[in-house]
Structure 1
Amino acid sequence: MPRNLTDERRDLVTAIGEFCRKECGTKEQRDKLTDGGVQQHSPQLYAKMAELGWLGIAIPEEYGGAGQGMADLCLFLEETSYWRAPISGFATTIIAAASYEKFATEEQKRVVLGGVVNGRVEAISMSEPGAGSDVAALTCRAERTTGGYVINGQKTWCSNAHLADHVLLVARTSQEADRHQGLTQFMVPTDVDGLQIRGIDTMGGKEVNDLYFTDCFVPDSAVVGTPGNAWAQLMAGLNLERMILAANMYGLARRAFDDILAYVKEREQFGRPIGSFQALKHRIADLATELECARLLLDDVAATIDAHPGEVFAREASMAKLKCTELAKHMTLEGMQMMGGYGYATEYGMESLHRASIVSTVYGGTSEIQRDIIGKTYGL
């Protein structure tokens, strides 16, 4: 179904597509940019996008960005994901940047937001070995000392910390009766003494890390926002994080569908294209319908967020994240099944799309957590 885009947005999508087709449109190009698929982020490609001004699409104009809203950001994420551009650092960067934009000092904004526009990567760290979905259970501590804080503890699953200039760290600064209180955000340089970043090998390559803080000192100027108020600050960014993940996975699902469709039209068995058999034709019809439903939901929630800045749409953003990530996982698995042995072969790419989709139903709040949030908005 045709998409109702403004001329400016249509031009943006076209420009991104043409750029990605030229720079990373083939598996050979992507392998060269990512050390054979091991790395998920190409600084070389990222720098070119920075020169084109795309990395600042959601950064305010006073810091060198374009100052666009959620709809434009989602289009950028969707299109780069569709073309499989290896820029995994962008998602965590823009999530962290939004928190700095809302709560940071002017000096912090100048450093971070200006850096984003120029191609710098940022990371955000909440999860710990004993605190994943239950963020309020975190125990990494930042103890008050003369002129700042001393941080001790471990963080885990921190995406892109090995590429980032800073980690936006959530640590406990006091023990309160309400576990959600007493948490503080810190802007921690990744080269600071007392911080060790150690990569975690995953089926998706090199992307996530363990962080070890040992008597790591940061000055008072590293505090982002109000001390003890990190939980409220995190809640203010829920729309953005979930929509970023939804748009990324919608783009991936689109790519998988187009690859499946091309394959079933070309592959012949028993004297005709396999897509002409009812068993596959009906599966394609179902997948196409689900893809269209996901697009309509994603576009509508993005437009709603843009129309009501400052409001938190917990239900709608969770629905978009749930729908798009679960669809991507289902779409790619169906693709592997319909493509048979070729779906399993690295040459055709469907298996790598599936690997990329699996973690999407875990990070940024699992599908189970999203369903729980949606249920709570209905008073359950």
Structure 2
Amino acid sequence: MSTTHALPRSLSSEQRAFVTALRDFARRECGTREQRDALAAEAGGPHAPSLYARLAELGWLGVCLPEAYGGSGGGMTDACLFLRETSRGLLPAGGFITSVITAKAYERFGSEAQCKAAIGGAVAGQVLSIAMSEPDAGSDVAALRCRAERTPDGGWLVNGHKTWISNAHLAEHILLVARTGASGAKHQGLTMFHVPAATPGIGIRPIETMGGHEVNDVFFTDLRLPADAVVGTADRAWTQLMAGLNAERLFLAANMLGLAERILDDTVAYVRGREQFGRPVGSFQALRHRLADLATEIECARLLVFDVAAACDAEPGKLFPREASMAKLKATETARHAALEGMQMMGGYGYATEYDMERHLRAAVVSTVYGGTSEIQRDIIGKSYGL
């Protein structure tokens, strides 16, 4: 059974060369378990600064960001190719997703100065973070209570607590969503703010998880921001957030597609080499059929992810809420299923830190929670049919 994963047929020669370069880089930089362990020891989580700096030097971190700020000007398909290959190659570049999601928000709504700082920084290898979730506002983001109030000089005073904020401890800039209006529906009166991470009044406390230090509590205590810190239009953050859903969900889907493919690769390699009862365990029909089903599900996820990416590239201004949610749902649930299947087929070795499978499981399981849970994605899809 070959685990050579297909590429979208519509790719240009430049895109195919990009994929080849990414795969070569991954094999060279973290193709062995020893290399991956060394990078993990440096990182303490899924982001290795030294490797991330090399990706920036190659110009790859700006793959879908505007040329005006140093990016390559590519589209959603290019970003999905990057995410798929870095995930499949196990490159510890965990800061990229939050950075590119945040940078795309600046691209749509930021001022020239904000874009130069945030997008230019992301291209150069800085990490960006977006602060939305709160202790009582997770799936129900519009229930957030972190508050920004006008000051006599026209600026803003921010107080509140954000939680589960990915990569805030690494970030140079934080895109904060805070409540600025008290009247009307809860979706009204929200505003985005550009916050340099060094601004006095920010406290960051790590939340230790199975994946290491990746998420944080972020406290804003009498944080003072200038009037021009508003990103886009005051009190209109909800509409602005909705405009970025295509990108966020699709990027997460592409990332988990790559992980699912890597899980399949690792599982196939194991069952080919592991012998019981005098023959490779992969030769038993029970495992062959499970792998066949898994490979089929992964291929379905691949087709969906890149079809949605192509649709977004064809109509950049259009929202695809149903399709983006379907891609996120399918890819993350497939990755979780793949990891559980891989662990089962590897038996006890699936739990051993000697192999990567236990890491894969930790990464896959949480993907069905962040960026909108699978339940939220199903609800969005269902509502799109008028239900």
TM-score by length of 1: 0.98
- Helix, strand or coil at the partner of 1:217: strand
* Equivalent residue number for residue 248 of structure 1: 255
Structure-1 separation of matches of 2:184 and 2:190: 12
Which of these residues, 161, 168, 182, is aligned with residue 175 of structure 2?
Answer: 168
The 4+ residue runs of structure 1 with deviation greater than 3 A are none
After TM superposition, give the deviation of residue 191 of structure 1 in Å. Answer: 1.3
Residues of 2 paired with 1:31 and 1:348: CA distance? 11
Alignment partner of 1:39 is 2:45: yes
**Structure 1 counterpart of 2:285:** 278
Shift of 1:348: 1.1
2:160 equivalent in structure 1:
153
Residue 105 (structure 1) aligned to one of 111, 120, 143: 111
When normalised by structure 2's length, the TM-score is: 0.97
Match of 2:20 among 14, 21, 37: 14
User: In the alignment, what sits opposite 2:240?
Assistant: 233
Partner SS, residue 185 of structure 2: coil
Aligned position for 1:320? 327
Q: Comparing 204-213 with 3-12, which one deviates more in the overlay?
A: 3-12
Supply the distance in 2 between the matched residues of 1:34 and 1:223 (Cα, whole angstroms): 37
CA distance in 2, matches of 1:183, 1:177: 11
Do the aligned residues in 2 keep the contact of 1:122 with 1:166 (CA within 8 Å)?
Answer: yes
State the partner residue of 1:122: 128
Aligned residues: 380
1:86 maps to which of 75, 89, 92: 92
CA distance in 1, matches of 2:259, 2:200: 39
* Paired residue type of 2:74: Q
The structural deviation recorded for 1:176 is 2.2
Q: Does residue 56 in structure 1 map to residue 51 in structure 2?
A: no
Instruction: Please give the alpha-carbon distance, in whole angstroms, between the structure 1 residues aligned to 2:368 and 2:326.
Output: 12
Match of 1:259 among 263, 266, 269: 266
How far the C-alpha of 1:193 sits from its partner, in A, is 1.0
Per the TM alignment, residue 64 of structure 1 is displaced from its structure 2 partner at its CA by: 1.1
Q: How does 1:127-146 map to 2 (within 5 A)?
A: 127-145=133-151, 146=153
Please tell me whether the aligned partners of residues 178 and 191 of structure 2 are also in contact (alpha carbons under 8 angstroms). Answer: yes
1:200 and 2:203 equivalent? no
| Contact 2:177-2:237 within 8 A present in 1 as well | yes
- SS of match in other structure, 2:364: helix
**Aligned partners of 1:304, 1:185: CA distance in 2, in Å?**
28
CA contact (8 A) 2:146 2:178 kept: yes
Displacement of 1:29 after TM fit?
Answer: 1.3
The Cα shift of 1:108 comes to 0.6
Distance 1:125 1:62 in 2: 26
Which residue of 1 is the match for residue 301 of structure 2? Answer: 294
Helix, strand or coil at the partner of 1:157:
strand
Q: Which amino acid is the alignment partner of residue 85 of structure 2?
A: E
Structure 2 partner of 1:305: 312
Deviation at 1:27, TM superposition (A): 2.2
Note if contact 1:30-1:37 (Cα within 8 Å) is conserved in structure 2. no
- Post-superposition CA distance 1:261-308 (Å, at most 9, x none): 111111111111111111111101100110111111111111011001
Over the aligned positions, Cα root-mean-square deviation in angstroms equals: 1.0
**C-alpha distance in structure 1 between counterparts of 2:53 and 2:359, whole Å:** 25
Counterpart-to-counterpart distance in 1, 2:293 and 2:233: 48
Work out whether 1:219 is the aligned partner of 2:226.
Answer: yes
Contact 2:42 2:48 in 1 (8 A): no
Distance 2:359 2:25 in 1: 22
**For each residue in 1:3-28, what CA deviation from the matched residue of structure 2 results, as whole angstroms up to 9, or x when unmatched?**
31321111111101111111122222
SS where residue 346 of structure 1 aligns? coil
Question: Once the 2 structures are TM-superposed, how far is the Cα of residue 36 of structure 1 from its aligned partner?
Answer: 6.7
Percent of pairs with identical residues: 64
Deviations 1:108-153 (A, max 9, x none): 1111111111111100010000000001100000010023100001
Give, in whole Å, the separation in 1 of the partners of 2:118 and 2:198.
15
Aligned residues of 2:43 and 2:49 also touching (Cα < 8 A): no
Following the alignment from structure 2 to structure 1, what is the Cα–Cα distance between the partners of residues 176 and 43? 28
Structure 2: unaligned runs, 5 residues or longer: none
Q: Amino acid of the residue matched to residue 64 of structure 1?
A: G
Offset at 1:39? 2.0
* Distance in 1, Cα, partners of 2:66 & 2:233: 22
Question: Counterpart in 1 of 2:345?
Answer: 338
Distance 1:324 1:37 in 2: 26
One-letter amino acid of the counterpart of residue 231, structure 1: W
Post-superposition Cα deviations, 1:46-90, rounded to whole Å, max 9, x if no partner, equal: 110111010011111111111000001000000000011111000
Q: Which consecutive residues of structure 1, in runs of 5 or more, have no partner in the other structure? A: none
Equivalent position to 1:66, from 56, 68, 72: 72
